[in-house]
Amino acid sequence: MKAPSSPKQITWIIGLVAGIAGIIGHYASVPMLTEYNYPLLLIGFLVLAAGTTFKDI
């Protein structure tokens, strides 16, 4: 089994921004973020997981 690769910087930034937006939506009352806080967290996690699993993402 291969070791995970580091994601590209843009992939990492997209995952991080989506995850932070989901966390902010959970703890603060921001209309758009509060409504989609769990999907944003899931998207952030999946982007980071895909970035480490597949090469050149």
What ranges do the domains of the chain cover? 9-53
Where is pLDDT greater, at 48 or 2? 48
Half-sphere exposure of residue 38, counting CA atoms within 13 Å on the CB side?
Answer: 0
The vertex-23 CA angle with 41 and 44, nearest 5°, equals 25
Angle between helices 9-27 and 37-53 (to 10 degrees): 160
What CA–CA distance (Å, rounded) separates 12 from 50?
Answer: 10
Instruction: Give the tens place of pLDDT for each residue, 7-50.
Output: 899 999 999 999 999 999 999 999 999 999 999 999 999 999 99
